[in-house]
Homo-oligomer: A and B are copies of this chain.
Amino acid sequence: MPVKTASDISLRFYPLHFGKGDFLLKEGSVSNEYVFLTEGYMRSFATDPDGNDITTSFHGPHQVVFEIASFFQRIPSRENIQALTPCAGVAITYATLNELFHALPEFREFGRSILVNGFSNLKSRMLSTITETAESRYLQLLQSSPDIFQHAPLRTIASYLGITDTSLSRIRKEISGK
């Protein structure tokens, strides 16, 4: 059936549910679902050469979750995506999304904006990682995404900030004494 309207689009989305700890994507496979989270929290993480988890991003309600490079380039992902809490969302496959891109030109602009925003956010994070201290990055995260702290363990947050859990613990102690 041809796709022409916004309601045709919403029909193509199907519901998804995850238990805590479930994987939406495992390193080595191709990201094939573009997911919009309606409830719950997830994290993306890579495994470094020493076998440690490095959290690359957090995803919360009303946010999009997928692995851009793998999804668009159709190559194996170097990252995992895992539920931090029970989650609910709606998903659309790569193939279907492509159909929509062809059928509805406005949709392309939407696709581009996802890429551009993601790129832009990552760049800001890169800059702050280079120029700011871990304490300052911690405080910023606390302010911009306080909800993460309710749902992710500190060691996960530490790896996102680029420090060890030990250091994060000390930073928190230091701050609490102010």
Residues of A within 8 A of B (CB): 46, 48-50, 52, 54, 56, 68-69, 72-73, 108, 111-113, 115-116, 118-120, 122-123, 125-127, 129-131, 159, 162
B127:A126 contact, CB within 8 angstroms: no
In the assembled complex, the CB of A57 is this many whole angstroms from the nearest CB of chain B, namely 10
Q: How many copies does the complex hold?
A: 2
In the assembled complex, the CB of A152 is this many whole angstroms from the nearest CB of chain B, namely 17
- Contacting residues, chain B, for A162 (C-beta < 8 A): 129-130
Q: List 7 A-B contacts (CB under 8 A).
A: A50-B131, A68-B116, A69-B116, A69-B120, A72-B116, A108-B108, A118-B119
- Contacting residues, chain B, for A125 (C-beta < 8 A): 126
A54:B122 contact, CB within 8 angstroms: no
Distance of A162 Cα from B133 Cα, bound (Å) = 12
In the assembled complex, the CB of A74 is this many whole angstroms from the nearest CB of chain B, namely 11
- Contacting residues, chain B, for A111 (C-beta < 8 A): 112
- Contacting residues, chain B, for A131 (C-beta < 8 A): 48-50, 52, 54
